[in-house]
Structure 1
Amino acid sequence: MAFLLICIVALIISAIGFYRYIWFISVGYGFSIAGIGVTMLVAFGIWGGLDPLTIVMSALLVVYGLRLGTYLIVRESRSASYRDVGQAAIEHGRTVALPLKVLTWIACAALYACEASPVLFRLSNHAPVDAVGIVGAAIMGTGIILESVADFTKNRFKRHHPDRFCDVGVFRIVRCPNYLGEVLTWTGVFVSGVTVLRGFWQWAAAIIGYVCIVWIMFGGARRLELRQERNYGQDPAYRHYSTHTPILIPLIPLYSVKNAKWLVG
Protein backbone atom coordinates (compact mmCIF):
# COMPACT_ATOMS: atom_id res chain seq x y z
CA MET A 1 0.00 0.00 0.00
CA ALA A 2 2.78 2.45 0.95
CA PHE A 3 4.78 1.58 -2.18
CA LEU A 4 1.68 2.15 -4.33
CA LEU A 5 1.25 5.54 -2.66
CA ILE A 6 4.74 6.77 -3.57
CA CYS A 7 4.27 5.40 -7.11
CA ILE A 8 1.10 7.50 -7.43
CA VAL A 9 2.93 10.57 -6.11
CA ALA A 10 5.72 10.02 -8.65
CA LEU A 11 3.16 9.56 -11.43
CA ILE A 12 1.39 12.81 -10.56
CA ILE A 13 4.57 14.89 -10.37
CA SER A 14 6.43 13.34 -13.30
CA ALA A 15 3.38 13.92 -15.52
CA ILE A 16 5.09 17.27 -16.17
CA GLY A 17 6.88 15.30 -18.88
CA PHE A 18 3.77 15.51 -21.05
CA TYR A 19 4.54 19.23 -21.33
CA ARG A 20 8.18 18.61 -22.24
CA TYR A 21 9.17 15.03 -22.90
CA ILE A 22 12.69 15.49 -21.53
CA TRP A 23 11.19 16.53 -18.18
CA PHE A 24 10.10 12.94 -17.52
CA ILE A 25 13.77 12.21 -16.73
CA SER A 26 15.01 15.60 -15.57
CA VAL A 27 12.79 18.12 -13.78
CA GLY A 28 10.13 15.49 -13.16
CA TYR A 29 12.75 13.22 -11.66
CA GLY A 30 14.00 15.75 -9.11
CA PHE A 31 10.59 16.93 -7.99
CA SER A 32 9.22 13.36 -7.89
CA ILE A 33 11.94 12.34 -5.43
CA ALA A 34 11.19 15.43 -3.34
CA GLY A 35 7.48 14.57 -3.43
CA ILE A 36 8.21 11.00 -2.33
CA GLY A 37 10.25 12.31 0.60
CA VAL A 38 7.44 14.65 1.67
CA THR A 39 4.88 11.86 1.30
CA MET A 40 6.85 9.54 3.57
CA LEU A 41 7.24 12.24 6.21
CA VAL A 42 3.53 13.07 6.16
CA ALA A 43 2.13 9.55 5.78
CA PHE A 44 4.29 7.92 8.41
CA GLY A 45 3.92 10.94 10.64
CA ILE A 46 0.22 10.08 10.62
CA TRP A 47 0.53 6.29 10.59
CA GLY A 48 3.46 6.17 12.98
CA GLY A 49 6.91 4.73 12.39
CA LEU A 50 9.06 7.82 11.96
CA ASP A 51 12.29 7.89 13.95
CA PRO A 52 15.27 10.26 13.82
CA LEU A 53 17.01 8.24 11.09
CA THR A 54 14.02 7.97 8.74
CA ILE A 55 13.16 11.62 9.32
CA VAL A 56 16.69 12.57 8.27
CA MET A 57 16.68 10.27 5.23
CA SER A 58 13.23 11.39 4.07
CA ALA A 59 14.29 15.01 4.52
CA LEU A 60 17.45 14.32 2.52
CA LEU A 61 15.27 13.01 -0.31
CA VAL A 62 13.35 16.28 -0.23
CA VAL A 63 16.56 18.34 -0.22
CA TYR A 64 18.05 16.24 -3.01
CA GLY A 65 14.97 16.46 -5.21
CA LEU A 66 14.27 20.16 -4.71
CA ARG A 67 17.90 21.07 -5.34
CA LEU A 68 18.10 18.96 -8.50
CA GLY A 69 14.76 20.04 -9.94
CA THR A 70 15.41 23.72 -9.27
CA TYR A 71 18.95 23.50 -10.61
CA LEU A 72 17.76 21.93 -13.85
CA ILE A 73 15.11 24.60 -14.41
CA VAL A 74 17.59 27.42 -13.72
CA ARG A 75 20.21 25.82 -15.96
CA GLU A 76 17.76 25.54 -18.84
CA SER A 77 16.80 29.21 -18.52
CA ARG A 78 20.28 30.68 -18.07
CA SER A 79 22.69 28.51 -20.06
CA ALA A 80 22.74 29.09 -23.81
CA SER A 81 24.42 25.75 -24.47
CA TYR A 82 21.85 23.86 -22.43
CA ARG A 83 19.04 25.80 -24.07
CA ASP A 84 20.32 24.52 -27.41
CA VAL A 85 20.46 20.96 -26.11
CA GLY A 86 17.07 21.40 -24.49
CA GLN A 87 15.54 22.76 -27.65
CA ALA A 88 16.74 19.72 -29.57
CA ALA A 89 15.21 17.50 -26.88
CA ILE A 90 11.95 19.45 -27.10
CA GLU A 91 11.83 19.02 -30.85
CA HIS A 92 12.50 15.31 -30.44
CA GLY A 93 9.80 15.05 -27.78
CA ARG A 94 7.20 16.43 -30.18
CA THR A 95 7.79 13.46 -32.47
CA VAL A 96 7.32 10.85 -29.73
CA ALA A 97 4.02 9.00 -30.03
CA LEU A 98 1.59 9.26 -27.12
CA PRO A 99 1.73 5.52 -26.23
CA LEU A 100 5.52 5.77 -25.87
CA LYS A 101 5.15 8.89 -23.71
CA VAL A 102 2.74 7.02 -21.45
CA LEU A 103 5.12 4.06 -21.22
CA THR A 104 8.02 6.40 -20.38
CA TRP A 105 5.91 8.14 -17.74
CA ILE A 106 4.93 4.89 -16.01
CA ALA A 107 8.45 3.42 -16.20
CA CYS A 108 10.03 6.58 -14.80
CA ALA A 109 7.57 6.85 -11.91
CA ALA A 110 8.12 3.19 -11.03
CA LEU A 111 11.89 3.67 -11.14
CA TYR A 112 11.76 6.71 -8.86
CA ALA A 113 9.68 4.76 -6.35
CA CYS A 114 12.12 1.84 -6.51
CA GLU A 115 15.10 4.15 -5.93
CA ALA A 116 13.57 5.54 -2.74
CA SER A 117 12.08 2.21 -1.62
CA PRO A 118 14.78 1.24 0.94
CA VAL A 119 13.78 4.25 3.04
CA LEU A 120 10.11 3.39 2.59
CA PHE A 121 10.66 -0.24 3.58
CA ARG A 122 12.63 0.83 6.65
CA LEU A 123 9.55 2.81 7.64
CA SER A 124 6.89 0.24 6.73
CA ASN A 125 8.84 -2.60 8.39
CA HIS A 126 9.17 -0.51 11.57
CA ALA A 127 12.89 -1.19 11.57
CA PRO A 128 14.94 0.10 14.49
CA VAL A 129 17.76 2.57 14.02
CA ASP A 130 20.95 0.63 13.37
CA ALA A 131 24.56 1.30 12.42
CA VAL A 132 24.01 0.26 8.79
CA GLY A 133 21.16 2.74 8.44
CA ILE A 134 23.28 5.53 9.93
CA VAL A 135 26.17 4.71 7.58
CA GLY A 136 23.76 4.72 4.63
CA ALA A 137 22.40 8.12 5.61
CA ALA A 138 25.95 9.48 5.92
CA ILE A 139 26.86 8.19 2.46
CA MET A 140 23.65 9.70 1.09
CA GLY A 141 24.39 13.09 2.61
CA THR A 142 27.96 12.99 1.28
CA GLY A 143 26.66 12.29 -2.21
CA ILE A 144 24.22 15.21 -2.11
CA ILE A 145 26.98 17.57 -0.94
CA LEU A 146 29.39 16.33 -3.64
CA GLU A 147 26.81 16.71 -6.40
CA SER A 148 25.95 20.23 -5.22
CA VAL A 149 29.63 21.25 -5.02
CA ALA A 150 30.29 19.83 -8.49
CA ASP A 151 27.40 21.72 -10.07
CA PHE A 152 28.41 24.96 -8.32
CA THR A 153 32.07 24.54 -9.32
CA LYS A 154 31.30 23.91 -12.97
CA ASN A 155 28.81 26.77 -13.24
CA ARG A 156 31.27 29.24 -11.72
CA PHE A 157 34.13 27.94 -13.88
CA LYS A 158 32.09 28.15 -17.09
CA ARG A 159 31.14 31.77 -16.41
CA HIS A 160 34.82 32.70 -16.68
CA HIS A 161 35.98 29.99 -19.11
CA PRO A 162 33.01 29.19 -21.37
CA ASP A 163 35.13 27.47 -24.02
CA ARG A 164 37.29 25.30 -21.76
CA PHE A 165 36.59 21.99 -20.08
CA CYS A 166 36.29 22.13 -16.28
CA ASP A 167 39.23 20.54 -14.47
CA VAL A 168 39.31 22.36 -11.14
CA GLY A 169 38.19 21.46 -7.63
CA VAL A 170 36.36 18.16 -7.42
CA PHE A 171 36.83 17.73 -11.18
CA ARG A 172 40.44 16.85 -10.38
CA ILE A 173 39.22 13.73 -8.60
CA VAL A 174 36.97 12.41 -11.37
CA ARG A 175 35.73 13.93 -14.62
CA CYS A 176 32.07 13.50 -13.66
CA PRO A 177 31.88 14.33 -9.93
CA ASN A 178 28.20 15.29 -10.19
CA TYR A 179 27.38 11.79 -11.43
CA LEU A 180 29.62 10.34 -8.71
CA GLY A 181 27.58 12.33 -6.19
CA GLU A 182 24.41 10.85 -7.64
CA VAL A 183 25.83 7.33 -7.38
CA LEU A 184 26.89 7.94 -3.77
CA THR A 185 23.46 9.33 -2.88
CA TRP A 186 21.65 6.23 -4.07
CA THR A 187 24.35 3.90 -2.75
CA GLY A 188 23.62 5.38 0.66
CA VAL A 189 19.89 4.84 0.22
CA PHE A 190 20.44 1.21 -0.84
CA VAL A 191 22.93 0.49 1.95
CA SER A 192 20.49 1.89 4.52
CA GLY A 193 18.01 -0.83 3.62
CA VAL A 194 20.13 -3.98 3.45
CA THR A 195 19.45 -4.96 7.07
CA VAL A 196 15.70 -4.30 6.94
CA LEU A 197 14.47 -5.49 3.54
CA ARG A 198 12.07 -8.44 3.73
CA GLY A 199 11.05 -10.87 1.04
CA PHE A 200 11.60 -11.06 -2.68
CA TRP A 201 9.62 -8.00 -3.76
CA GLN A 202 11.28 -5.57 -1.37
CA TRP A 203 14.72 -6.76 -2.40
CA ALA A 204 13.73 -6.68 -6.07
CA ALA A 205 12.46 -3.09 -5.88
CA ALA A 206 15.57 -1.89 -4.04
CA ILE A 207 18.00 -3.68 -6.37
CA ILE A 208 16.19 -2.58 -9.54
CA GLY A 209 16.18 1.04 -8.42
CA TYR A 210 19.86 1.03 -7.48
CA VAL A 211 21.18 -0.88 -10.49
CA CYS A 212 19.16 1.25 -12.93
CA ILE A 213 20.32 4.59 -11.54
CA VAL A 214 23.98 3.50 -11.51
CA TRP A 215 23.61 2.29 -15.11
CA ILE A 216 22.01 5.60 -16.09
CA MET A 217 24.81 7.58 -14.41
CA PHE A 218 27.48 5.64 -16.30
CA GLY A 219 25.44 6.32 -19.44
CA GLY A 220 25.41 10.02 -18.60
CA ALA A 221 29.18 9.91 -18.16
CA ARG A 222 29.52 8.28 -21.58
CA ARG A 223 27.30 10.93 -23.18
CA LEU A 224 29.37 13.69 -21.60
CA GLU A 225 32.61 12.04 -22.69
CA LEU A 226 31.46 11.86 -26.30
CA ARG A 227 30.42 15.52 -26.24
CA GLN A 228 33.73 16.60 -24.72
CA GLU A 229 35.63 14.54 -27.27
CA ARG A 230 33.88 16.51 -30.01
CA ASN A 231 34.50 19.85 -28.32
CA TYR A 232 38.00 19.42 -26.86
CA GLY A 233 39.43 16.29 -28.46
CA GLN A 234 42.14 18.23 -30.29
CA ASP A 235 43.29 20.03 -27.15
CA PRO A 236 46.46 18.40 -25.69
CA ALA A 237 45.49 19.61 -22.20
CA TYR A 238 42.15 17.81 -22.47
CA ARG A 239 43.77 14.65 -23.77
CA HIS A 240 46.14 14.63 -20.79
CA TYR A 241 43.27 15.33 -18.39
CA SER A 242 41.04 12.63 -19.84
CA THR A 243 43.78 9.97 -19.77
CA HIS A 244 44.92 10.71 -16.22
CA THR A 245 41.63 11.43 -14.42
CA PRO A 246 39.12 8.59 -13.88
CA ILE A 247 35.80 9.26 -15.54
CA LEU A 248 33.51 8.42 -12.60
CA ILE A 249 34.95 6.32 -9.77
CA PRO A 250 37.94 7.68 -7.81
CA LEU A 251 41.14 5.61 -7.70
CA ILE A 252 39.76 3.16 -10.27
CA PRO A 253 41.74 3.47 -13.55
CA LEU A 254 38.64 3.57 -15.73
CA TYR A 255 39.27 6.55 -18.00
CA SER A 256 36.78 5.99 -20.80
CA VAL A 257 33.37 4.41 -21.40
CA LYS A 258 32.80 5.82 -24.88
CA ASN A 259 32.93 2.38 -26.49
CA ALA A 260 30.35 0.93 -24.09
CA LYS A 261 27.38 1.45 -26.39
CA TRP A 262 25.11 -0.54 -24.09
CA LEU A 263 25.18 2.34 -21.60
CA VAL A 264 22.40 4.91 -21.78
CA GLY A 265 21.88 8.10 -19.83
Structure 2
Amino acid sequence: MGTVIDSHFLALTAIVTIGYQFVFFVITALLKFDKVTDFAGSTNFIIIAVLTLVLKGSWHFRQVILTLLVVIWGLRLAIFLLMRILQWGEDRRFDEMRSNLGKLAVFWIFQAVWVWTVSLPVTVVNASNRNPFLQAEDIVGWIFWAVGFLVEGTADQQKLNFKSLPENRGKWCYVGLWKYTRHPNYFGEILLWWGIFVASSPVLEGAEWLVILGPTFLTLLLLFVSGIPLLEESADKKFGNVDGYRTYKRGTSPLIPLPPSIYGNLPSWIKTVFLFEFPLYSRNLPREGPNW
Protein backbone atom coordinates (compact mmCIF):
# COMPACT_ATOMS: atom_id res chain seq x y z
CA MET A 1 0.00 0.00 0.00
CA GLY A 2 2.49 2.64 1.17
CA THR A 3 1.26 6.05 0.09
CA VAL A 4 -1.91 7.46 1.66
CA ILE A 5 -2.29 11.20 0.95
CA ASP A 6 1.49 11.64 1.34
CA SER A 7 4.39 9.22 1.35
CA HIS A 8 5.26 9.82 4.99
CA PHE A 9 1.70 9.52 6.33
CA LEU A 10 2.02 13.02 7.86
CA ALA A 11 -1.27 14.38 6.51
CA LEU A 12 -3.09 11.13 7.21
CA THR A 13 -1.97 10.97 10.84
CA ALA A 14 -2.85 14.65 11.30
CA ILE A 15 -6.38 14.06 10.01
CA VAL A 16 -6.84 10.94 12.13
CA THR A 17 -5.51 12.69 15.24
CA ILE A 18 -7.69 15.78 14.78
CA GLY A 19 -10.76 13.64 14.18
CA TYR A 20 -10.09 11.37 17.16
CA GLN A 21 -9.48 14.24 19.56
CA PHE A 22 -12.51 16.13 18.21
CA VAL A 23 -14.79 13.21 19.12
CA PHE A 24 -13.58 13.27 22.71
CA PHE A 25 -13.80 17.06 22.80
CA VAL A 26 -17.48 16.84 21.87
CA ILE A 27 -18.06 14.21 24.57
CA THR A 28 -16.33 16.36 27.16
CA ALA A 29 -18.10 19.57 26.12
CA LEU A 30 -21.60 18.11 25.93
CA LEU A 31 -21.51 15.73 28.89
CA LYS A 32 -19.07 17.69 31.10
CA PHE A 33 -17.23 14.38 31.37
CA ASP A 34 -13.47 14.91 31.60
CA LYS A 35 -12.36 11.49 32.80
CA VAL A 36 -11.36 10.36 29.30
CA THR A 37 -8.89 13.11 28.38
CA ASP A 38 -5.66 11.23 29.18
CA PHE A 39 -7.17 8.03 27.79
CA ALA A 40 -7.87 9.85 24.51
CA GLY A 41 -4.29 11.07 24.30
CA SER A 42 -2.50 7.81 25.07
CA THR A 43 -4.74 5.65 22.85
CA ASN A 44 -4.23 8.10 19.98
CA PHE A 45 -0.52 7.21 20.01
CA ILE A 46 -1.45 3.55 19.64
CA ILE A 47 -3.79 4.28 16.73
CA ILE A 48 -1.13 6.25 14.84
CA ALA A 49 1.57 3.63 15.35
CA VAL A 50 -0.60 0.65 14.38
CA LEU A 51 -2.33 2.43 11.50
CA THR A 52 0.90 3.53 9.83
CA LEU A 53 2.39 0.07 10.22
CA VAL A 54 -0.66 -1.64 8.72
CA LEU A 55 -0.94 0.83 5.84
CA LYS A 56 2.69 0.30 4.91
CA GLY A 57 1.85 -3.28 3.99
CA SER A 58 5.36 -4.74 4.12
CA TRP A 59 7.08 -4.46 7.48
CA HIS A 60 10.63 -4.82 8.66
CA PHE A 61 11.92 -5.67 12.11
CA ARG A 62 12.65 -2.10 13.20
CA GLN A 63 9.15 -0.90 12.31
CA VAL A 64 7.53 -3.73 14.26
CA ILE A 65 9.69 -3.13 17.33
CA LEU A 66 9.10 0.63 17.43
CA THR A 67 5.37 0.17 16.92
CA LEU A 68 5.29 -2.42 19.67
CA LEU A 69 7.13 -0.08 22.06
CA VAL A 70 4.57 2.67 21.45
CA VAL A 71 1.66 0.25 21.91
CA ILE A 72 3.06 -1.10 25.19
CA TRP A 73 3.65 2.41 26.52
CA GLY A 74 0.24 3.64 25.36
CA LEU A 75 -1.69 0.71 26.81
CA ARG A 76 0.07 0.93 30.17
CA LEU A 77 -0.53 4.67 30.40
CA ALA A 78 -4.12 4.54 29.17
CA ILE A 79 -5.14 1.87 31.66
CA PHE A 80 -3.25 3.47 34.55
CA LEU A 81 -4.57 6.99 33.94
CA LEU A 82 -8.14 5.83 33.40
CA MET A 83 -8.13 3.77 36.60
CA ARG A 84 -6.54 6.64 38.52
CA ILE A 85 -9.05 9.27 37.43
CA LEU A 86 -11.96 6.91 38.09
CA GLN A 87 -10.56 6.35 41.58
CA TRP A 88 -9.77 9.99 42.37
CA GLY A 89 -12.81 11.58 40.72
CA GLU A 90 -12.82 14.72 38.57
CA ASP A 91 -9.73 15.97 36.81
CA ARG A 92 -8.79 19.22 38.57
CA ARG A 93 -7.12 20.56 35.43
CA PHE A 94 -10.62 21.15 34.05
CA ASP A 95 -12.06 23.05 37.01
CA GLU A 96 -11.79 26.31 35.03
CA MET A 97 -12.60 24.76 31.65
CA ARG A 98 -15.87 22.90 32.13
CA SER A 99 -17.92 26.06 31.65
CA ASN A 100 -15.52 27.71 29.19
CA LEU A 101 -15.81 26.16 25.74
CA GLY A 102 -12.93 28.23 24.36
CA LYS A 103 -10.43 27.07 26.98
CA LEU A 104 -11.63 23.51 26.59
CA ALA A 105 -11.14 23.67 22.82
CA VAL A 106 -7.61 25.04 23.24
CA PHE A 107 -6.76 22.12 25.50
CA TRP A 108 -7.95 19.54 22.96
CA ILE A 109 -6.18 21.31 20.09
CA PHE A 110 -2.98 21.30 22.12
CA GLN A 111 -3.42 17.61 22.91
CA ALA A 112 -3.81 16.83 19.20
CA VAL A 113 -0.61 18.74 18.40
CA TRP A 114 1.19 16.89 21.20
CA VAL A 115 0.15 13.44 19.96
CA TRP A 116 0.94 14.12 16.30
CA THR A 117 4.30 15.78 16.96
CA VAL A 118 5.64 13.28 19.49
CA SER A 119 4.58 10.40 17.20
CA LEU A 120 6.67 11.72 14.29
CA PRO A 121 9.66 9.33 14.64
CA VAL A 122 7.45 6.23 14.53
CA THR A 123 5.24 7.68 11.78
CA VAL A 124 8.20 8.37 9.48
CA VAL A 125 9.95 5.05 10.21
CA ASN A 126 6.75 3.11 9.48
CA ALA A 127 6.40 4.95 6.17
CA SER A 128 9.99 4.29 5.09
CA ASN A 129 11.26 1.60 2.72
CA ARG A 130 14.78 1.78 4.15
CA ASN A 131 15.87 -1.10 6.36
CA PRO A 132 19.56 -0.92 7.32
CA PHE A 133 21.12 -3.68 9.37
CA LEU A 134 20.81 -3.53 13.14
CA GLN A 135 23.01 -0.72 14.46
CA ALA A 136 24.24 0.56 17.82
CA GLU A 137 21.60 3.30 17.73
CA ASP A 138 18.87 0.66 17.76
CA ILE A 139 20.23 -0.99 20.90
CA VAL A 140 20.86 2.31 22.67
CA GLY A 141 17.37 3.54 21.80
CA TRP A 142 15.72 0.35 23.04
CA ILE A 143 17.69 0.56 26.30
CA PHE A 144 16.63 4.19 26.78
CA TRP A 145 13.02 3.18 26.18
CA ALA A 146 13.19 0.24 28.60
CA VAL A 147 14.74 2.30 31.38
CA GLY A 148 12.32 5.17 30.81
CA PHE A 149 9.31 2.84 30.72
CA LEU A 150 10.39 1.14 33.95
CA VAL A 151 11.01 4.45 35.71
CA GLU A 152 7.71 6.01 34.59
CA GLY A 153 5.65 2.94 35.48
CA THR A 154 7.34 2.47 38.85
CA ALA A 155 6.99 6.14 39.77
CA ASP A 156 3.30 6.22 38.83
CA GLN A 157 2.56 3.14 40.93
CA GLN A 158 4.59 4.39 43.90
CA LYS A 159 2.69 7.67 43.94
CA LEU A 160 -0.67 5.94 43.57
CA ASN A 161 0.15 3.60 46.47
CA PHE A 162 1.36 6.52 48.59
CA LYS A 163 -1.76 8.63 48.03
CA SER A 164 -4.11 5.69 48.60
CA LEU A 165 -3.03 5.40 52.24
CA PRO A 166 -5.21 7.47 54.62
CA GLU A 167 -2.21 8.55 56.71
CA ASN A 168 -0.66 10.19 53.64
CA ARG A 169 -3.66 12.32 52.80
CA GLY A 170 -2.58 15.92 52.29
CA LYS A 171 1.12 15.02 51.94
CA TRP A 172 3.47 15.20 48.98
CA CYS A 173 4.96 11.96 47.67
CA TYR A 174 8.56 11.48 48.83
CA VAL A 175 9.04 7.69 48.73
CA GLY A 176 10.78 5.36 46.29
CA LEU A 177 11.98 7.13 43.14
CA TRP A 178 10.41 10.33 44.45
CA LYS A 179 13.31 10.54 46.94
CA TYR A 180 15.70 11.21 44.08
CA THR A 181 13.64 13.40 41.75
CA ARG A 182 10.49 15.44 42.24
CA HIS A 183 9.14 14.22 38.88
CA PRO A 184 10.44 10.70 38.13
CA ASN A 185 7.46 9.91 35.90
CA TYR A 186 8.33 12.83 33.62
CA PHE A 187 11.99 11.81 33.57
CA GLY A 188 10.93 8.33 32.45
CA GLU A 189 8.59 9.63 29.76
CA ILE A 190 11.20 11.99 28.32
CA LEU A 191 13.85 9.25 28.32
CA LEU A 192 11.68 6.67 26.57
CA TRP A 193 10.62 9.03 23.77
CA TRP A 194 14.21 10.08 23.17
CA GLY A 195 14.94 6.36 23.04
CA ILE A 196 12.36 5.91 20.30
CA PHE A 197 13.94 8.76 18.34
CA VAL A 198 17.44 7.30 18.71
CA ALA A 199 16.18 3.87 17.61
CA SER A 200 14.55 5.47 14.57
CA SER A 201 17.71 7.35 13.51
CA PRO A 202 19.28 4.60 11.33
CA VAL A 203 16.34 4.98 8.93
CA LEU A 204 16.30 8.79 8.74
CA GLU A 205 17.61 10.77 5.77
CA GLY A 206 17.61 14.46 4.87
CA ALA A 207 14.55 16.36 6.08
CA GLU A 208 13.32 13.28 7.92
CA TRP A 209 15.70 14.24 10.74
CA LEU A 210 13.16 16.92 11.60
CA VAL A 211 11.28 14.22 13.51
CA ILE A 212 13.58 15.24 16.36
CA LEU A 213 10.86 17.82 16.92
CA GLY A 214 8.89 15.00 18.58
CA PRO A 215 11.03 14.36 21.68
CA THR A 216 12.15 18.00 21.73
CA PHE A 217 8.55 19.22 21.86
CA LEU A 218 7.73 16.73 24.62
CA THR A 219 10.76 17.79 26.67
CA LEU A 220 10.02 21.49 26.37
CA LEU A 221 6.34 20.88 27.12
CA LEU A 222 7.11 19.05 30.37
CA LEU A 223 9.88 21.44 31.42
CA PHE A 224 8.17 24.75 30.71
CA VAL A 225 4.45 24.44 29.96
CA SER A 226 2.01 21.82 31.20
CA GLY A 227 4.32 19.52 33.13
CA ILE A 228 6.70 20.48 35.90
CA PRO A 229 5.73 24.19 36.22
CA LEU A 230 2.05 23.44 36.89
CA LEU A 231 2.78 20.69 39.40
CA GLU A 232 5.43 22.76 41.17
CA GLU A 233 3.03 25.68 41.41
CA SER A 234 0.31 23.45 42.83
CA ALA A 235 2.65 21.82 45.37
CA ASP A 236 4.11 25.17 46.45
CA LYS A 237 0.65 26.54 47.13
CA LYS A 238 -0.31 23.48 49.18
CA PHE A 239 2.91 22.84 51.09
CA GLY A 240 5.00 26.00 50.68
CA ASN A 241 4.77 26.86 54.38
CA VAL A 242 5.69 23.34 55.53
CA ASP A 243 9.33 23.08 56.59
CA GLY A 244 9.58 19.43 55.52
CA TYR A 245 8.44 20.24 52.00
CA ARG A 246 10.93 23.10 51.73
CA THR A 247 13.72 20.79 52.81
CA TYR A 248 12.57 18.14 50.34
CA LYS A 249 12.44 20.62 47.49
CA ARG A 250 15.87 22.12 48.27
CA GLY A 251 17.49 18.70 48.37
CA THR A 252 15.68 16.88 45.56
CA SER A 253 16.39 17.21 41.84
CA PRO A 254 13.42 18.42 39.75
CA LEU A 255 13.91 15.88 36.96
CA ILE A 256 17.17 13.90 36.71
CA PRO A 257 17.45 11.39 39.60
CA LEU A 258 20.27 12.15 42.03
CA PRO A 259 20.93 11.26 45.68
CA PRO A 260 19.79 14.20 47.87
CA SER A 261 23.21 14.30 49.54
CA ILE A 262 24.76 15.16 46.17
CA TYR A 263 22.06 17.39 44.71
CA GLY A 264 21.65 19.52 47.82
CA ASN A 265 25.33 20.48 47.81
CA LEU A 266 25.63 21.42 44.15
CA PRO A 267 26.10 25.08 43.13
CA SER A 268 22.91 26.76 41.94
CA TRP A 269 24.31 27.40 38.44
CA ILE A 270 24.95 23.69 37.91
CA LYS A 271 21.41 22.91 39.03
CA THR A 272 20.02 25.46 36.59
CA VAL A 273 22.19 24.70 33.55
CA PHE A 274 22.48 20.93 33.76
CA LEU A 275 19.67 19.72 36.05
CA PHE A 276 16.77 22.00 35.00
CA GLU A 277 16.21 23.65 38.37
CA PHE A 278 14.70 26.81 36.91
CA PRO A 279 13.63 29.81 39.05
CA LEU A 280 10.09 29.58 37.67
CA TYR A 281 9.66 26.33 39.62
CA SER A 282 9.86 28.29 42.89
CA ARG A 283 8.15 31.54 42.00
CA ASN A 284 5.13 30.74 44.21
CA LEU A 285 7.10 29.31 47.14
CA PRO A 286 7.02 31.59 50.21
CA ARG A 287 10.44 32.86 51.15
CA GLU A 288 9.88 33.60 54.81
CA GLY A 289 10.08 31.16 57.68
CA PRO A 290 12.71 28.78 59.06
CA ASN A 291 14.94 26.50 57.01
CA TRP A 292 14.73 28.67 53.90
Give ranges in structure 2 of 5+ residues lacking alignment.
Answer: 1-5, 259-269, 283-292
Q: CA deviation at 1:256?
A: 4.0
Aligned to 1:134: 139
Letter in 1 for 2:147: T
Offset at residue 40 of structure 1 (A) = 3.2
Change in Cα spacing, 1:57 to 1:106, as seen in structure 2 (3 Å) is same
Q: 1:223 aligns with which of 230, 235, 238?
A: 230
Change (3 A) 1:195 1:31: same
Deviations 1:107-128 (A, max 9, x none): 5434423322222323314232
Q: What displacement does 1:138 show?
A: 2.1
- Whichever residue aligns with residue 168 of structure 1, its letter is V
CA contact (8 A) 2:121 2:212 kept: no
Secondary structure at the counterpart of residue 228 of structure 1 = helix
Structure 1 residue 19: Cα displacement: 2.3
Q: Unpaired runs of 5+ in structure 1?
A: none
Kept after mapping to 2: 8 A contact 1:233/1:239: yes
**Alpha-carbon shift at residue 155 of structure 1 (Å):** 0.5
Matches within 5 A, 1:40-51: 40-44=52-56, 47-51=57-61
Match of 1:121 in 2: 124
Q: 1:170 maps to what in 2? A: 177
Contact 2:45-2:71 within 8 A present in 1 as well: yes
Asked whether 1:237 is paired with 2:244, we answer yes
* Partner of residue 60, structure 1: 69
Assess, with a 3 A threshold, how the Cα gap between structure 1 residues 230 and 112 changes in structure 2: closer, same or farther: same
CA gap of 1:228–1:108, structure 2 versus 1, over 3 A, is: closer
Q: Would the aligned equivalents of 2:35 and 2:86 in 1 still touch at CA under 8 Å?
A: no
SS in 1 for 2:102: coil
Normalised TM-score (structure 1): 0.82
Q: Secondary structure at the match of 2:85?
A: helix
Counterpart of 1:96 in structure 2 is: 102
Distance (Å, rounded) in 2 between the aligned partners of 1:189 and 1:260: 28
Alpha-carbon distance, 1:154 to partner: 0.2
TM-aligned CA deviation for residue 231 of structure 1: 1.1
Aligned in 2, Cα 1:87/1:158: closer, same or farther, shift over 3 Å? same
Q: Aligned runs of 1:14-33 on 2, under 5 Å?
A: 14-15=21-22, 16-20=24-28, 26-33=38-45
Match of 2:280 among 240, 259, 265: 259
Q: Deviations over 1:130-167 (max 9, x none)?
A: 22022112212221221111110000011111221111
RMSD: 2.7
Is 1:203 equivalent to 2:209 in the alignment? Answer: yes
Higher helix proportion: 1
Cα contact 1:17–1:28 (8 A) shared by 2: no
Are 1:13 and 1:31, in contact at CA under 8 Å, matched by a contact in 2?
no
Contact 2:60-2:131 within 8 A present in 1 as well: no
Cα 1:193–1:255 change in 2 (3 A) is closer
Task: Please say if residues 121 and 214 of structure 2, whose CA atoms lie closer than 8 Å, have aligned partners that are also in contact.
Answer: no
**Per the alignment, in what secondary structure is the counterpart of residue 142 of structure 1?**
helix
Q: Which has the larger radius of gyration?
A: 2
TM-score between both structures, scaled by the size of structure 2: 0.75
